[in-house]
């Protein structure tokens, strides 16, 4: 029984520690795109045009090709 308790304590410790390690690493590694705003809800009447602004940040040190498309859902 004490061995089972020890295994559970170690498992909980590793579970808690692992996400914290990833969160710290993701804030220092810049390897992707940041999109702002991440979510926008629009109601657009048929046959009309809606304009707005979407900002895409390249958080890497290299150039990137980015393609966008709209999907119905």
pLDDT tens, 30-63?
Answer: 678 888 888 888 888 899 988 888 888 888 888 8
Return d(Cα 11, Cα 6) in angstroms, integer. Answer: 9
Q: Is residue 17 assigned to a domain?
A: yes
Q: Is 47 left (phi over 0), alpha (psi -120 to 50) or beta?
A: left
Q: Is residue 65 assigned to a domain?
A: no
Residues above pLDDT 70, as percent of the chain: 59
Q: Is residue 37 assigned to a domain?
A: yes
Its pTM stands at: 0.44
Nearest to 33 by CA among 11, 65, 5: 65
Q: Which pLDDT value is given to residue 65?
A: 87
The yes-or-no verdict on residue 11 having pLDDT over 80 is no
- The answer to whether residues 57 and 36 touch, using CB atoms and an 8 Å cutoff, is yes
Which residues constitute the domain of residue 36?
2-58
Q: Which pLDDT value is given to residue 48?
A: 92
- Domain count along the chain: 1
């Amino acid at each position: 029984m004490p061995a089972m308790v020890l295994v559970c304590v170690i498992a909980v410790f590793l579970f808690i520690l692992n996400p914290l390690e990833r969160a710290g690493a993701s804030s220092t590694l810049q390897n992707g795109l940041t999109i702002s705003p991440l979510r926008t809800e629009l109601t657009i009447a048929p046959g009309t045009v809606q304009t707005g602004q979407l900002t895409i940040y390249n958080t890497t040190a290299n150039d990137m090709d980015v393609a966008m498309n709209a999907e119905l859902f």
